[in-house]
Amino acid sequence: MDLNTILQVLDSTVRLGTPLLLMCLAGLFSERAGIVDIGLEGKALVAAFFSAAIAYSTGSLMLGLLAGILSSLVLSLIHGVASITFRGNQLISGVALNFLASGLTVLIAQDWFGQGGRTPSLGDVRFHELTLPFAEALRPVPVIGPIYYDLISGHSILVYVAFLCVPVTWWVLYRTRFGLRLRAVGENPAAVDTAGISVVRLRFSAIIIAGVLCGLAGSYLATALQAGFVKEMTAGRGYIALAALIFAKWRPWYALSATMLFGLLQAVALRYQNIDLGGFIIPVQFMNALPYILTIVILAGFVGAANPPRAGGDPYVKER
């Protein structure tokens, strides 16, 4: 395996890891505030559809992105109303939203475009790959040149936004008052309430941030990674992001490594199909299932305990 192949695999790792990273950070904000969110998949799916549909209809990528984020926010708010306002079961609400997204996107796509649940190809209206400064100039330099040109440069703007979200998330969570309160509300909402801070407002803020991030993830899928929406295009990525979140033990920097690891698994599975290890063949299905298997191994406690935020999943009832 030469440098070029490695770079190609790593390049597609970044491409495939980016939506996972965005959704994982979305889950991180939500779960750190005590709202379990298994609706990441659904939010990204509606965002993928609406970003592609609006970008196609208006010819404007920015309007598409905006529509993607807004549609994801709508699902977020339903989740918030169900699980915060009406103290419903957060898991059931998430399941319902995933189904809602999976059904509605096809229903609307069929009605608008009549192409069996997909949008027409976006053609040129999509996020293009950026060439970072000096990439062309540095290209002939051995090792560093190709790494900079192929791996670091040459992604769409959303990839850089996603990577930037990691330090920003860290900073917000650990260096701001809002972040401290957010983490507190996920561990002990009663204490936060006693301090005179609104639990409901904090949790809604967390859910809105999650909605925006899932919106970015979905738009990335339909308008950057691919040129258009196809039925079920999130393909379980929301659940892989959920797995990555556990893997990352609900921490931003670990989230980056976990999602890139899962991105690498997807990239390898995509490139090599069945891997031949000197007579012993690893089937592609095993590679596809590996993120889930790894999560089970983590949960089984073989690689250290993964403790979720303590108040996760419980609706907060104010004392009377």
Partner 1 sequence: MDRMPAWADVVLIPLISLILAAILSALAILAIGESPAEAFYLMVDGALMRSSGWGYTLYYATNFIFTGLAVSVAFHAKLFNIGGEGQAALGGLGVALACLYIPWPHWSLALLGSAVGAAAFGALWALIPAYLQAKRGSHIVITTIMFNFIAAALLNYLLVNVLRPVGAMEPASASFAAATHLPTFQSMFSSEGNTLFRGSPANITFFIALIACVFVWLLIWRSKLGYEIRSQGYSESGAKYAGISPSRIIIIAMLISGALSGMMGVNATQGAAGRLILNSAEGAGFIGIAVALMGRNHPFGVLLASLLFGFLYQGGAELAMWTSIPRELIIVIQALVILFTGALDNMVRWPLEALFARLRKKEA
Per-residue contact track with partner 1, 60 to 99, x per CB under 8 A? ------------------x--xxx--xxxxxxxx-xxxxx
Query: Tokens 């979905």 sit at which residue?
Result: 218
Is position 285 an interface residue for partner 1 (rule: CB under 8 A)? yes
Structure tokens at 185: 């509300």
Strands (E) located in the chain: 275-277, 280-282
Question: Could you give the CA distance from residue 186 to residue 171 in angstroms, rounded to a whole number?
Answer: 18
275: which strand partners? 282
> Considering the complex, what minimum distance in angstroms separates the CB of residue 258 from partner 1?
14
Does residue 223 contact residue 126 with C-beta atoms inside 8 Å? yes
Closest to partner 1 by CB, 224 or 298: 298
Query: Tokens 């403790």 sit at which residue?
Result: 307
> Considering the complex, what minimum distance in angstroms separates the CB of residue 98 from partner 1?
8
Closest to partner 1 by CB, 33 or 159: 33
Does residue 180 contact residue 8 with C-beta atoms inside 8 Å? no
Considering CB under 8 A, how many residues would be counted as binding partner 1?
A: 48
156: which strand partners? 129
Candidate residues 169, 205, 223, 295; the one interacting with partner 1 per rule CB under 8 A: 295
Does residue 173 contact residue 143 with C-beta atoms inside 8 Å? no
Question: Could you give the CA distance from residue 60 to residue 53 in angstroms, rounded to a whole number?
Answer: 10
Closest to partner 1 by CB, 18 or 83: 83
> Considering the complex, what minimum distance in angstroms separates the CB of residue 300 from partner 1?
6
Per-residue contact track with partner 1, 220 to 249, x per CB under 8 A? ----------------x--x--xx--x---
Burial (CB < 10 A; 0-12, 13-18, 19+), residue 119, is: buried
> Considering the complex, what minimum distance in angstroms separates the CB of residue 189 from partner 1?
18
Is position 100 an interface residue for partner 1 (rule: CB under 8 A)? yes
Q: Which residues bind partner 1 (CB under 8 A)?
A: 38, 78, 81-83, 86-93, 95-100, 102-104, 106-108, 110-111, 114, 117, 236, 239, 242-243, 246, 283, 285-286, 288-289, 292-293, 295-296, 299-301, 306, 308
